[in-house]
Copies of this chain bind each other. A is one copy, B any other.
Amino acid sequence: MSKYRVLIDAYDEKGLVHKVSTVFYNNDLNILSNNEFVDKENNKFFMRSVVDGDIDLDILYDLLKKVLPSSANIKVIAPKKKNIVIMATKEMHALGDILIRHEAGELEANILAVVSNYSDLESLVTKFGIPFMAVSHVDLDRAEHENKILECLAEFKDIDYIVLAKYMRILTPRFVEVYADRIINIHHSFLPAFIGANPYKQAYDRGVKIIGATSHFVNNNLDEGPIIAQEVIHVDHAYGWRDMQRSGKDVEKVVLSRALKLALEDRIFVYANRTVIF
């Protein structure tokens, strides 16, 4: 008995559910959960099923491939731990939250390493027996610095996701391209408000009554990639921007960990700079 996550996205047409469910039925697969969504505006169909039964992954894939339109994207995934690298700068809360979840066995992930442009976090990371790589940006231009990081990462094959746990530097298009759709960032505002540097200062200056955090995939437009998860908290006039920053940390870490969990469980589809999440 094997368990698979089946992810399908395709241009919508009549009969897609019928075709997929017929494959499941004819092969005696049990549907454990099933989600579908049709985006009428973009004429797109999305489906995520979890099934178990006695069939090889490749065979299931081929059977689905045969009945579905050639333009359909089909993934059949046997659940297992994914490989992640975390990048951070100096702040401990978002990284620490992931480390504790990892230690507690809550994450379907192996943490291959933590990379930082400072060494402040080394003591925390190595407590957990996880490799820590300090790659200072001092005296380097952005491309040189990223080259050094890319070299570090090159020693790991099969990185599924790179998690930016308050990594406070902008990535170049070249870096983003290498790990396209696999970089998950946490931005400390409810995007698209307060793009860029020091969003809490911006929020304070605007006099908002709510602050938030946004986890998103990174693309080449700063803070404009597809949003995975957002959360907010209420603030009032008594919050200076440093108070917002302090309180915001609790939102940041929860939102980033939530987004990471969704990715690790293969629950996210990305299209048209948006996400469908089952």
Kindly list chain B residues whose C-beta atoms are within 8 Å of the C-beta of A37: 237-238
Contacts of A210 in B (CB 8 A): 190, 212, 230-232
- The CA of A193 and the CA of B92, in the complex, are separated in Å by 29
Residues of chain B contacted by A97 (CB below 8 angstroms) = 97, 100
- For residues 85 through 141 of chain A, which have their beta carbon under 8 Å from a beta carbon of chain B? 91-93, 96-97, 99-101, 103-104, 106, 124, 127-128
Tell me the complex Cα distance, A246–B21, Å.
Answer: 30
Determine whether the beta carbon of B92 is less than 8 Å from that of A96: no
Segment with Cβ contacts to B, from A10-18, A70-78, A150-158: A10-18
- For the complex formed, measure the closest distance between the CB of A7 and the CB atoms of chain B, giving whole angstroms: 14
**Counting CB contacts under 8 A, is A177 at the interface?**
no
Q: Is the CB of A230 within 8 A of B209?
A: yes
Closest to A203 in B: B192
Q: Which residues of B contact A237 (CB under 8 A)?
A: 37, 39, 274-277
Chain B residues contacting A93 (CB-CB under 8 Å) are 100-101, 104, 106
Interface assignment of A227: CB less than 8 Å from any CB of chain B: yes
Q: CB-CB < 8 A to A124: which residues of B? A: 100, 103
Known: A93-B104, A237-B277, A250-B254. A14 touches B41 (CB 8 A): no
In this assembly, does A57 line the interface, its C-beta being within 8 Å of a C-beta of chain B? no
Q: Does A28 count as interface, using CB distance less than 8 angstroms?
A: yes
Measured between alpha carbons, how far is A101 from B93 in the docked complex, in Å? Answer: 7
Q: Which residues of B contact A32 (CB under 8 A)?
A: 38, 40
Copies of this chain, whole number:
4
Q: Separation in Å of the A138 CB from the closest CB of chain B?
A: 24
In A211-262, the 8 Å CB interface with B consists of 212, 226-232, 236-238, 240, 246, 250, 254, 257-258
Interface size in chain A (residues, C-beta < 8 A): 69
Instruction: Write out the residue numbers on chain B whose beta carbons fall within 8 Å of the beta carbon of A276.
Output: 237
In the complex, what distance in Å separates the CA atom of A40 from the CA atom of B32? 8
A18 partner, pick from B22, B33, B39, beta carbons under 8 A: B22
- Check B192 against A206 for contact (C-beta < 8 Å): yes
- List of B residues within 8 angstroms of A240 by Cβ: 40-41
Q: Does A171 contact B (CB under 8 A)?
A: no
- For the complex, is A56 an interface residue (Cβ under 8 Å from B)? no
CB-CB under 8 A from A35, the residues of chain B are 35-36
Tell me, rounded to whole Å, the shortest Cβ–Cβ distance linking A31 to chain B: 6
> Known: A22-B22, A38-B32. Contact between A209 and B238, CB under 8 A?
no
- A contact set with B: CB distance below 8 Å: 14-15, 17-18, 21-22, 24-25, 28-41, 91-93, 96-97, 99-101, 103-104, 106, 124, 127-128, 190-194, 206-210, 212, 226-232, 236-238, 240, 246, 250, 254, 257-258, 272-277
